[in-house]
Amino acid sequence: MNELQKILVVDNGERAAESGLSAELAGMGFASVTAPFEAADEVLAMMPSPGAIVLQVPQRADFSERRRFMELASRLRRSLPSSGVPVIVAAGVAGIAPLLETALGVKAIGL
């Protein structure tokens, strides 16, 4: 059995129906683990080789919350460069498929 590639999704902990990124990723053939911002480092430590890390910035985030997500993205990119794990900031995008295709260099399943 072929294991699905795992994507770590980091959000602010509020999971509204309209922000169903996990369902979108599943439809694309990816398994996902969703963690709140505050637990990102702990979850990443237990998940040492994700296919990608997606930082899902809430559409209604204020400046300070957006800055926290951007600082996390910068820190992750600095700490993971040799692993080749893409860090994607999804801020108000309609779909994650084009971003993942670009970052992973493959066509997502089911598109």
* C-alpha to C-alpha distance for 88 and 37, rounded to whole angstroms: 14
* C-alpha to C-alpha distance for 96 and 20, rounded to whole angstroms: 11
Q: What is the pLDDT of residue 53?
A: 92
| CA-atom Rg of the chain in angstroms | 13
Locus of tokens 């801020």: 91
CB 71 within 8 A of CB 25: no
Q: What is the pLDDT of residue 27?
A: 79
What structural domains does the chain harbor?
5-104 (3.40.50.2300)
Q: Which of 104, 78, 85, 15 is nearest to 47 (CA)?
A: 85
Give me 10's structure tokens.
């980091």
CA pseudo-torsion sign 43, 74, 101, 66: positive
* pLDDT tens-digit profile, the chain (111 residues): 346 678 999 988 876 655 577 777 887 788 889 999 999 999 999 987 898 899 988 888 899 999 999 999 999 999 887 778 889 888 765 566 677 767 766 544 443
Q: What is the pLDDT of residue 40?
A: 94
Full-model pTM: 0.80
Q: What is the pLDDT of residue 108?
A: 45
